[in-house]
């Protein structure tokens, strides 16, 4: 019997990893053998996961609470599962899905059922990731329609901008002089002047 490890992942630093840690503790995973990443599951380029991968040896055992904690990209989950079970020759236990316990059913039928469940759950995990992105996109679009402004708030134009702009547009002063009179960087003056020229009443 090799060593027992656990892997935890949350998508952001604000999310709580408590439930995953409790599940691993109940599975009697040593605290020093738990590796945790706080980033998206879109791929496996995660520092602690890569460190865990380097530590794993044949006959080690890896616990994860659910398949989406391992990752959310369908093809990459299947590839990593292959790397872990075939190349690293370790066992994996997905706590929330008892069928995904490679210690059991190592015969042909057990492996077949495990593969089907893994493919279905991996597909669901990736589909949920896509749905989250779509909901975010729709939410942003709905907010824009309501008039919500994104990005840094725009500074109001200087009170003398229109007069200075008219002098600049008439060729009386240079852009650098106009920007100085308005107390703005030249790049900001040109940008605001361009927009004002397209929409003078704005």
Q: Among all residues, which ones are annotated catalytic?
A: 11
Contact (Cβ atoms closer than 8 angstroms) between residue 112 and residue 119: no
List strands edge to edge, sheet with 4-10.
34-38, 4-10, 61-64, 91-94
Give the Cβ contact number of residue 97 at 10 Å: 17
Per-residue CA distances from 59 to 88, 91, 152, 161 (Å): 8, 7, 53, 73
Short-list 75, 62, 14, CA closest to 39: 14
Burial 19-54 (b: 16+ CB within 10 A, else e): ebbebbeeeebeeebbbbbebbbeebebebbeebbe
Largest CA distance in the chain: 88
Cα–Cα distance, 186 to 202 (Å, whole number)? 20
């Amino acid at each position: 019997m090799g060593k027992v490890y656990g892997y935890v992942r949350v998508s952001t630093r604000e999310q709580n990893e408590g439930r995953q840690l409790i599940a691993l503790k109940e599975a009697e995973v040593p605290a020093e053998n738990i590796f945790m990443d706080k980033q998206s599951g879109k791929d496996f380029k995660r520092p602690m996961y890569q460190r865990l991968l380097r530590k794993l040896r044949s006959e080690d055992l890896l616990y994860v609470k659910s398949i989406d904690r391992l990752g959310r990209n369908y093809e990459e989950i299947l590839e990593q599962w292959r790397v872990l079970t075939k190349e690293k020759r370790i066992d994996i236990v997905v706590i929330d899905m008892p069928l995904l316990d490679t210690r059991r059913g190592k015969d042909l039928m057990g492996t077949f059922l495990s593969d089907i469940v893994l493919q279905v759950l991996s597909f669901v995990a990736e589909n949920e990731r896509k749905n989250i992105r779509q909901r975010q996109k729709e939410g942003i679009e709905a907010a824009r329609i309501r008039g919500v402004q994104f990005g840094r708030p725009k500074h109001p134009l200087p009170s003398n901008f229109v007069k200075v702009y008219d002098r600049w547009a008439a060729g009386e002063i240079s852009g650098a002089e106009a920007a100085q009179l308005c107390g703005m960087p030249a790049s900001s003056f040109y940008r605001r002047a361009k927009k004002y020229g397209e929409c003078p009443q704005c």
